[in-house]
């Protein structure tokens, strides 16, 4: 595997957290890891690409890690409309190609969930398909996650994306459904839960 696309059931579900976690894990296994955030929206300061580049001390220019930057904190389609910009999706493919030459594996963090529109007729699931990458779905640990995770996997399969696994994030030990969700999702989707991550206490 030379690349993987980290998508999720929603925004704020832990895609950046998991991207960093996997990058550090692959590094510990001796691999040279690159990351990518194809499209960021919102203020440049401390966006996901800047954060990951800093945390992982990556030399790659921000223009490669994050080829499309939009000013407003919205889905790419409305963000591009507001700033009257036509998105050049091809920039994503060429940046990914270059990063793949530089690194053994490139972890690509998605934008929100799979149905998020990039243009009127092109969503995140289409991008994953066209980048020819397998997907990992980051899902919440607690109540409500069965619905969101099954819908996400269904949409990826409809877009002919290979789903290699699910990472469940934010276990608290306080929600009864945390005990049964992973097993039910595996059983109903046929996709394995690769990891269950606890809600980490903030480091002081």
Tell the burial category of 190 from Cβ atoms under 10 Å away from its Cβ (0-12, 13-18, 19+).
Answer: exposed
**Residue placing its CB nearer to Mg ion in the complex, 169 or 181:** 169
**Residue placing its CB nearer to ligand ADP in the complex, 30 or 202:** 202
To the question of whether residue 121 is assigned a binding role by annotation, the answer is no
To the question of whether residue 109 is assigned a binding role by annotation, the answer is yes
Contact residue for Mg ion among 15, 21, 53, 140 (CB under 5 A)? 15
By the 8 A CB rule, do 178 and 142 touch? yes
By the 8 A CB rule, do 168 and 140 touch? yes
Contact residue for Mg ion among 20, 35, 48, 193 (CB under 5 A)? 48
**Residue placing its CB nearer to ligand ADP in the complex, 20 or 105:** 20
- Least distance to ligand ADP from the beta carbon of 73, Å? 11
- 76 Cβ neighbours under 8 A, 6+ residues apart: 39, 41, 68, 70, 87, 111, 116, 117, 118, 119
Question: What's the CA gap between 102 and 96, in Å, rounded?
Answer: 10
Q: Which of residues 184-203 bind ligand ADP (CB under 6 A)?
A: 197, 199-200
To the question of whether residue 48 is assigned a binding role by annotation, the answer is yes
Which residues does the annotation mark as catalytic? Answer: 37
- Rounded to a whole number of angstroms, the distance between the first and last alpha carbons of the chain is 36
By the 8 A CB rule, do 178 and 144 touch? no
Q: Which of residues 120-179 bind ligand ADP (CB under 6 A)?
A: 169-170
Interacting residues with ligand ADP (CB under 6 A): 8, 11-17, 169-170, 197, 199-200
Interacting residues with Mg ion (CB under 5 A): 15-16, 48
């Amino acid at each position: 595997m030379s690349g993987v696309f980290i998508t999720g059931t929603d925004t704020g579900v832990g895609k950046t957290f998991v991207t960093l976690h996997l990058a550090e894990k692959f590094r510990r296994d001796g691999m040279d890891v690159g990351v990518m955030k194809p499209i960021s929206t919102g203020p440049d300061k401390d966006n996901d690409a800047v954060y990951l580049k800093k945390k992982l001390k990556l030399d790659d220019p921000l223009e490669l890690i994050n080829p499309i930057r939009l000013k407003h904190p919205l889905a790419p389609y409305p963000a591009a409309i507001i700033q009257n910009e036509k998105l050049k999706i091809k920039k994503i493919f060429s940046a990914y190609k270059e990063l793949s030459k530089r690194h053994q594996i490139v972890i690509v963090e998605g934008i929100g969930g799979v149905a998020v529109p990039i243009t009127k007729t092109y969503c995140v699931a289409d991008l994953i398909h066209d980048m020819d990458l397998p997907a990992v779905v980051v899902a919440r640990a607690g109540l409500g996650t069965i619905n969101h995770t099954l819908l996400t996997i269904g949409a990826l399969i409809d877009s002919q994306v290979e789903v290699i696994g699910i990472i469940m994030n934010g276990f608290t030990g306080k929600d009864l459904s945390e005990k049964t969700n992973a097993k039910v999702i595996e059983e109903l989707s046929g996709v394995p839960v690769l990891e269950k991550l606890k809600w980490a206490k903030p480091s002081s």
